[in-house]
């Protein structure tokens, strides 16, 4: 008896498997009988990690969704969003995408934060001929080198944001530059494109040091020492979240930023600037979202509605989520149907008035012309803010047609 | 390399050295508790990182609500550490205590459940936003060392770690309780037999270890802060420190922390890209040179492998074989019952079943636990993807090539690994896997880095989901049957003999290492086979298929299914994958999944298949 622990267990396991199979069957059958008066949208985002960005993002699209539906929806139907967590893993995201398409019968996919998840979904979309609307991923490859006709992207890409910064940074006298960025594709792309763009404008500049901390595992003291050891006059920084906080604190204590001009890619975003509170850096050139300072009536209306609904102020994620949902709304309205081909045709060249100005999705590469706010950081009442900012419209920083033709597989 | 005037250069290097030392201190504070817990309780406690995170959050909120001042700052830190210790007591008495008689690795699974629960609970209690910690009052400035600045708090850390080290030493060597702890570390059974109250001792040690984790989290506040990712970010580093130093050795942990701290402080000066791999490279080198870490002792012979499996594997009875056949027929009829997404899920389950079966092959009969099996699974995926991407190899050939290429890698890694045993072996496989991962991650020009390789889809004839399901099913069942064949072939019996008594095996002239080496390679090959098919089911591959979490997923599948039956890994991967899919729709899914895992661990300490067998097995004897 004691020695017989082998296959016998199989019987109950088979029973379990049978129950399991029946459950799968039941659930898949159940999801097919949804009433036909909604248009279902599959939304995939990293809600179990990177919450400082993704939670405000969810608030953003939820607010837009409520507004759209209470105004009667679109095409006579209500929008229904099925939101899923990809845990930041491309493989998981693809499985979820299949589930959303096959089981939940969504008409399009949207979302994702990390660039590799975005790329995986974009490839999935191409293969399965469904529309994928990438909202947050910044990777250039998404719409250019690895672009395809089923993928659209909302946020200004990595190189677009860097072009905005390089334009302003070139005006600074600093000649000796150091760079620090997280050691993964986003960081590497950011440094490469910033270097290229700045060099094009200022051939006299040299890059004297670089640091590549592991994402969310920066060894701040040692790496800042290493940067200052090269005596740079300016630092380009692409860190964000907890890495940024450690970088700022340790850098101040070690006097790394004194008389050094710092260009910092995402630091103006409230998600990353606000946790620094009274230690927020001053005079850094950043991209971000000065929600407190935008005076256009559309944005004011959004701000009020957001604060009323969530009792909190919007972050950059909220802006992206809100714009994304409205982009979908306008696209569906223009398409007149939830058929993938019709939606693609409608999205190509779609222009709508967003709360930060008109946004157009280019036909040639499916990149939107949504811009970014570029400005300098400052301290006000113990909080970091952006000053001297302007809204850099994305359309001025998009690659021209010839470049796109060269980059994008035809 | 720094470009500074001569005068300041010396100061620069000295401050860099001190910075490394202060990083080492922060690392040591987390790792020493882990080492202590492992030494006595023999638990690989994944939840240690969660305690660290909770410590940081608690200290932050305590200090924020206390009056200003140095006294309240340090009181907040101490109180946070004690609170975390109390949480540790609760977990030990309510959960872990029930599991000491289950296979040791099973507790690993329970602690993983705790990690999941703490992730969501922390998000709920402490909010989604990152927090920057408070500065220590009176220590918020910097000191000038030969013209270079060093934060004052770094000096505090540099001093505190050796103080804790000495304190722990005094406690372990100069108090009665410490003697009992050391006795239990040396020989748990003997101290039990001599009448030492084991459960009180274990609770005490777990309290102390958790306190130290909480202290580590609290004390790093001025250097960083608190966020929801810090638990998983620290745990790998903490394990590396513990293993490099020698499991259970506190001075070893300090030594290892200092080496790692200094290595990375100076490493970034010479080779900035090394941040991902340096630590694991060091661990691999140390383990190859010194199989028990720098200051560790050999594990007692009875520990580890032999304890994991008590029953002998026997081929299935006739009745069971019939049952298996019925199951097989059911699997082949699946496309009639389930929708196309059901098939996608079933395909994934089949692939994971083969991969976890290959891990089971070395873990169960082989007695070698691997924490890095995803390297082979992911390696297979990459091998197939790369041949398709660069040589336009057809799918059929790529699926065949993948296991061969991975087999070669496994041959090399295995040669080093089989020389070790127990947790050290597991950690060496982890290090090797992490090195493979960082090669794939960093070598962007060839592997696409973390942008991955896209567009790896099956050949036209297999692109239909049902056809691909059948293809996967046939290949996976073939693979599993092949592994089963090896287990019941003379080779498999020899392998089990190697696991159960190395002494006897040696004395009858069997080359133990060669058998284990071969088994390791075989397991890697089959995992690579599964990976090669996996990439075609997904259409793309990214470095995360080789990363640590995936390795642990395979381990959990086996533990969930049960280590004592051949059917365990299959049942486990089905349950694991299906649960994940069902739960992931809910908002706080990690919390629920963690609770389910813990309930399963308590209800089925032999795993799903194992428990069913114990209850119903007798009806199926011939």
Fold of A159-292+374-396: Rossmann fold (3.40.50)
Looking at the complex, report in whole angstroms how far the Cα of residue B177 sits from the nearest Cα belonging to chain A.
Answer: 37
List the structure tokens of A191. Answer: 């440094």
Chain A hits for B441, Cβ within 8 Å: 184
B 230-259 → A contacts, CB under 8 A: 230, 233, 237
Quickly list H helices, B489-606: 490-500, 502-507, 512-538, 548-561, 568-583, 589-603
* Number of neighbours of residue B306 by Cβ within 10 angstroms: 14
Q: Under a CB-based contact definition with an 8 Å cutoff, are residues A303 and A83 in contact?
A: no
Q: Which residue of A has its CA nearest to B140?
A: A253
User: Do residue B454 and residue A120 have CB atoms under 8 angstroms apart?
Assistant: yes
pLDDT grade, residue B442 (50/70/90)?
confident
Looking at the complex, report in whole angstroms how far the Cα of residue A35 sits from the nearest Cα belonging to chain B.
Answer: 19
Chain B hits for A275, Cβ within 8 Å: 129-132, 225
pLDDT grade, residue B616 (50/70/90)?
confident
Residues 6+ apart with CB under 8 A from A322: A60, A61, A63, A64, A302, A306, A314, A355
Chain B hits for A184, Cβ within 8 Å: 441, 449-450
User: Do residue B141 and residue A141 have CB atoms under 8 angstroms apart?
Assistant: no
Indicate if the pLDDT at residue A11 is higher than 80: no
User: Do residue B269 and residue A115 have CB atoms under 8 angstroms apart?
Assistant: no
List the structure tokens of B122. Answer: 């922390």
List the structure tokens of A34. Answer: 């949804």
**A251-269 pLDDT per residue, tens:** 999 999 999 999 999 999 9
pLDDT score of A59: 96
SS3 category, A88:
coil
Q: Please, what is the Cα angle at A131 between A130 and A132, to 5 degrees?
A: 115
Which of B131, B273, B338 is opposite residue A24, by nearest beta carbon?
A: B338
Same fold, A36-156+295-371 and A159-292+374-396: yes
Chain B hits for A29, Cβ within 8 Å: 339
B 171-230 → A contacts, CB under 8 A: 223-225, 227-230
User: Do residue A17 and residue B233 have CB atoms under 8 angstroms apart?
Assistant: no
Domain A36-156+295-371: CATH superfamily is Response regulator (3.40.50.2300)
Q: Is A167 on the interface with B (CB under 8 A)?
A: no
User: Do residue B142 and residue A253 have CB atoms under 8 angstroms apart?
Assistant: yes
Chain A hits for B544, Cβ within 8 Å: 89-91, 116
| φ/ψ (deg, to 5) at B145 | -115, 105
Asked which of B16-25, B172-181, B298-307, B393-402 is least confident by mean pLDDT, the reply is B298-307
Q: Please, what is the Cα angle at B467 between B461 and B470, to 5 degrees?
A: 135
- From the list A164, A332, A191, A154, the residue with the least C-alpha distance to B273 is A191
Q: Is B577 on the interface with A (CB under 8 A)?
A: no
Indicate if the pLDDT at residue A10 is higher than 70: no
Q: Is A336 on the interface with B (CB under 8 A)?
A: no
Indicate if the pLDDT at residue B218 is higher than 80: yes
Q: Hey, of B345, B592, B617, B621, which one would you mutate to test binding to chain A, going by the most A CBs within 10 A of its CB? A: B617
Indicate if the pLDDT at residue B289 is higher than 60: yes
B436: part of which helix (H) or strand (E)? helix B422-442
**B504-545 pLDDT per residue, tens:** 999 999 999 999 999 999 999 999 999 999 999 999 999 999
Chain A hits for B452, Cβ within 8 Å: 90, 116, 119-120
Q: Hey, of B451, B496, B535, which one would you mutate to test binding to chain A, going by the most A CBs within 10 A of its CB? A: B451
Q: Under a CB-based contact definition with an 8 Å cutoff, are residues A137 and A111 in contact?
A: no
Residues 6+ apart with CB under 8 A from B21: B158, B258, B261, B262
More confident: B403 or B424: B403
Which of A116, A123, A229 is opposite residue B455, by nearest beta carbon?
A: A123
**A279-291 pLDDT per residue, tens:** 999 999 999 999 9
User: Do residue A229 and residue B3 have CB atoms under 8 angstroms apart?
Assistant: yes
Quickly list H helices, A170-261: 185-201, 220-229, 241-253
Looking at the complex, report in whole angstroms how far the Cα of residue A334 sits from the nearest Cα belonging to chain B.
Answer: 31
User: Do residue A9 and residue B344 have CB atoms under 8 angstroms apart?
Assistant: no
- From the list A321, A313, A374, A270, the residue with the least C-alpha distance to A52 is A270
The torsion of the CA quartet A261, A265, A268, A273, rounded to 10 degrees, works out to -90
Q: Which DSSP string corresponds to B8-58?
A: HHHHHHHHHHHHHHHHHHHHHHHHHHHHHHHHHH----TTHHHHHHHHHHH
B 280-339 → A contacts, CB under 8 A: 311-317, 320-321, 323-324, 326-327, 330, 334, 337-339
This complex has an ipTM of: 0.90
Half-sphere exposure of B217 (CA within 13 A, CB side): 38
pLDDT score of B40: 83
Question: How far is the C-alpha of A101 from the C-alpha of B40, rounded, in Å?
Answer: 51
Q: Is A19 on the interface with B (CB under 8 A)?
A: no
pLDDT score of B612: 83
User: Do residue A119 and residue B314 have CB atoms under 8 angstroms apart?
Assistant: no
What would the mean pLDDT of A314-323 be, rounded to a whole number? 97
Question: How far is the C-alpha of A13 from the C-alpha of B567, rounded, in Å?
Answer: 9
Q: Is B265 on the interface with A (CB under 8 A)?
A: yes
- Prediction pTM value: 0.90
Looking at the complex, report in whole angstroms how far the Cα of residue A352 sits from the nearest Cα belonging to chain B.
Answer: 31
Which of A8, A229, A272 is opposite residue B616, by nearest beta carbon?
A: A8
What are the E-state strand segments in B337-463?
Answer: 453-454
Burial class (CB in 10 A: 0-12, 13-18, 19+), B330: middle
Q: Hey, of A2, A10, A85, which one would you mutate to test binding to chain B, going by the most B CBs within 10 A of its CB? A: A10
The torsion of the CA quartet B576, B582, B586, B588, rounded to 10 degrees, works out to -10
User: Do residue B327 and residue A52 have CB atoms under 8 angstroms apart?
Assistant: no
Q: Scanning the structure block, which residue is given the tokens 């505090």?
A: B156
User: Do residue B275 and residue A217 have CB atoms under 8 angstroms apart?
Assistant: yes
Enumerate the domain spans of chain A.
36-156+295-371, 159-292+374-396
Q: Which residue of B has its CA nearest to A146?
A: B454
B 44-63 → A contacts, CB under 8 A: none
Q: What percentage of chain A exceeds 70 in pLDDT?
A: 91
Q: Which residue of A has its CA nearest to B9?
A: A229
Looking at the complex, report in whole angstroms how far the Cα of residue A351 sits from the nearest Cα belonging to chain B.
Answer: 30
Looking at the complex, report in whole angstroms how far the Cα of residue B452 sits from the nearest Cα belonging to chain A.
Answer: 7
pLDDT score of B84: 97
pLDDT score of B116: 94
Indicate if the pLDDT at residue B306 is higher than 50: no
What would the mean pLDDT of B103-131 be, rounded to a whole number? 89
Q: Which residue of B has its CA nearest to A241?
A: B130
Q: Is A26 on the interface with B (CB under 8 A)?
A: no
Q: Under a CB-based contact definition with an 8 Å cutoff, are residues B456 and A94 in contact?
A: no
Q: Under a CB-based contact definition with an 8 Å cutoff, are residues B60 and B134 in contact?
A: yes
Asked which of A99-113, A201-215, B326-340 is least confident by mean pLDDT, the reply is B326-340
pLDDT score of A182: 93
pLDDT score of A6: 43
Q: Scanning the structure block, which residue is given the tokens 């202590």?
A: B36
Chain B hits for A124, Cβ within 8 Å: 539-540
């Amino acid at each position: 008896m004691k020695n017989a622990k082998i296959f016998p267990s199989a019987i109950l396991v088979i029973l379990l498997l049978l129950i399991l199979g029946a459950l799968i069957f039941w659930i898949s059958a159940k999801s097919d009988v949804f009433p036909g008066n909604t248009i279902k949208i599959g939304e995939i985002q990293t809600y179990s990690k990177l919450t400082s960005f993704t939670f405000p993002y969810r608030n953003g699209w939820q607010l837009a969704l409520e507004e759209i539906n209470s105004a009667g929806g679109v095409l006579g139907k209500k929008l229904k969003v099925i939101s899923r967590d990809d845990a930041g893993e491309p493989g998981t995201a693809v499985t979820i995408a299949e589930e959303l398409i096959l089981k939940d019968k969504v008409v399009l996919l949207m979302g994702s934060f990390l660039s590799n998840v975005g790329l995986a979904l974009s490839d999935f979309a191409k293969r399965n001929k469904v529309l994928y609307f990438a909202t947050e991923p910044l990777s250039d490859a998404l719409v250019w080198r690895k672009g395809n006709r089923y993928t659209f992207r909302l946020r200004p890409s990595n190189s677009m944001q860097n072009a905005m910064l390089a334009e302003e940074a070139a005006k600074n006298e600093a000649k000796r530059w150091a760079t620090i960025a997280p050691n993964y594709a986003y960081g590497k792309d950011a440094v490469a494109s910033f270097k290229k763009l700045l060099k094009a404008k200022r051939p006299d500049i040299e890059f004297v040091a670089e640091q590549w901390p592991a994402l969310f595992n920066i060894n701040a003291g040692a790496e800042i020492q290493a940067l200052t050891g090269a005596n740079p006059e300016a630092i380009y920084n692409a860190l964000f979240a907890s890495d940024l906080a450690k970088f700022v604190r340790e850098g101040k204590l070690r006097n790394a930023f004194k008389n050094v001009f710092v260009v910092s890619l995402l630091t103006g975003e409230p998600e990353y600037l606000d946790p620094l509170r009274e230690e927020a850096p001053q005079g850094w050139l950043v991209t971000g979202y000065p929600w407190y300072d935008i005076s256009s009536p559309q944005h004011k209306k959004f701000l009020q509605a957001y604060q009323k609904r969530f009792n909190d102020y919007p972050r950059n994620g909220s802006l992206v989520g809100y714009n994304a949902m409205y982009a979908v709304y306008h696209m569906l309205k223009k398409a007149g149907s939830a058929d993938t081909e019709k939606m693609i045709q409608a999205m190509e060249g779609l222009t709508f008035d967003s709360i930060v100005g008109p946004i157009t999705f280019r036909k040639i590469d499916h990149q939107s012309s949504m811009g970014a706010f570029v400005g300098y950081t400052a301290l006000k009442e113990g909080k970091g803010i952006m000053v001297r900012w302007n809204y850099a419209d994305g359309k001025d920083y998009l690659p021209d047609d010839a470049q796109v033709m060269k980059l994008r597989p035809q | 390399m720094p470009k500074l005037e001569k005068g300041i250069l010396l100061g620069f290097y000295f401050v860099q050295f001190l910075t490394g030392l202060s990083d080492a201190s922060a690392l040591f504070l987390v790792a020493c508790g882990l080492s202590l817990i492992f030494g006595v309780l023999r638990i690989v406690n994944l939840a240690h990182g969660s305690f660290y995170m909770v410590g940081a959050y608690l200290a932050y909120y305590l200090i924020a609500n206390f009056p200003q001042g140095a006294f309240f700052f340090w009181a907040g830190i101490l109180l946070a550490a004690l609170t975390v210790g109390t949480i540790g007591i609760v977990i030990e008495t309510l959960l872990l205590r029930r599991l000491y008689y289950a296979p040791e690795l099973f507790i690993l699974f329970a602690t993983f459940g705790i990690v999941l629960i703490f992730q969501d609970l922390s998000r709920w209690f402490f909010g989604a936003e990152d927090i920057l910690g408070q500065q220590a009052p009176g220590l918020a400035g910097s000191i000038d060392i030969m013209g270079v600045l060093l934060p004052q708090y770094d000096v505090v850390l540099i001093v505190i770690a050796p103080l804790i080290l000495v304190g722990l030493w005094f406690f372990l060597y100069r108090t009665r309780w410490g003697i009992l702890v050391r006795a239990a570390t040396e020989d748990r059974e003997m101290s039990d037999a001599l009448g030492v109250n084991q459960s009180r001792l274990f609770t005490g040690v777990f309290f102390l270890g958790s306190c130290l984790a909480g202290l580590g989290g609290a004390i790093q506040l001025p250097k960083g802060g608190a966020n929801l990712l810090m638990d998983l970010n620290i745990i790998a580093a903490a394990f590396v420190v513990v293993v490099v130093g020698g499991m259970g050795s506190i001075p070893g942990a300090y030594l290892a922390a200092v080496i790692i701290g200094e290595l990375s402080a100076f490493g970034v000066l010479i080779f900035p890209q090394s941040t991902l791999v340096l630590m694991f490279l060091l661990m691999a080198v140390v383990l190859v040179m010194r199989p028990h870490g720098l200051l560790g002792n050999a594990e007692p012979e009875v520990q580890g492998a032999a304890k994991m499996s008590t029953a002998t594997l026997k081929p299935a009875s006739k009745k069971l074989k019939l049952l298996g056949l019925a199951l097989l027929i059911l699997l082949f009829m699946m496309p009639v019952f389930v929708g196309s997404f059901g098939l996608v899920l079933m395909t994934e389950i089949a692939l994971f079943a083969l991969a976890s079966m290959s891990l089971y092959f070395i873990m169960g009969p082989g007695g070698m636990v691997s924490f890095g099996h995803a390297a082979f699974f992911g390696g297979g995926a990459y091998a197939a993807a790369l041949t398709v991407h660069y040589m336009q190899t057809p799918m059929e050939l790529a699926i065949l090539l993948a296991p061969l290429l991975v087999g070669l890698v496994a041959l090399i890694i295995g040669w080093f690994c089989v020389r070790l045993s127990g947790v050290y072996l597991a950690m060496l496989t982890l290090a090797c896997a992490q090195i493979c991962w960082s090669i794939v991650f960093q070598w962007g020009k060839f592997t696409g880095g973390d942008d991955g390789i896209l567009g790896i889809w099956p050949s036209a004839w297999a692109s239909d989901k049902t056809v691909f399901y059948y293809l996967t099913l046939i290949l996976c069942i073939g693979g599993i049957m092949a592994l089963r064949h090896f287990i019941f072939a003379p080779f498999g019996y020899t392998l089990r003999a190697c696991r159960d008594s190395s002494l006897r095996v040696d004395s009858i002239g069997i080359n133990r290492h060669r058998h284990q080496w071969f088994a390791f390679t075989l397991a890697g090959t089959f995992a690579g086979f599964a990976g090669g098919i996996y990439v075609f089911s997904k259409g793309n591959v990214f470095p995360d298929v080789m990363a640590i979490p995936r390795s642990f997923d395979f381990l959990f599948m086996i533990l969930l299914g049960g280590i004592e039956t051949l059917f365990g890994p299959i049942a486990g991967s089905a349950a694991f994958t299906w649960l994940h899919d069902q739960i992931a729709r809910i908002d706080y899914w990690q919390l629920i999944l963690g609770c389910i895992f813990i309930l399963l661990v308590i209800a089925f300490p032999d795993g799903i298949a194992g428990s069913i067998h114990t209850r119903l097995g007798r009806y199926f004897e011939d």
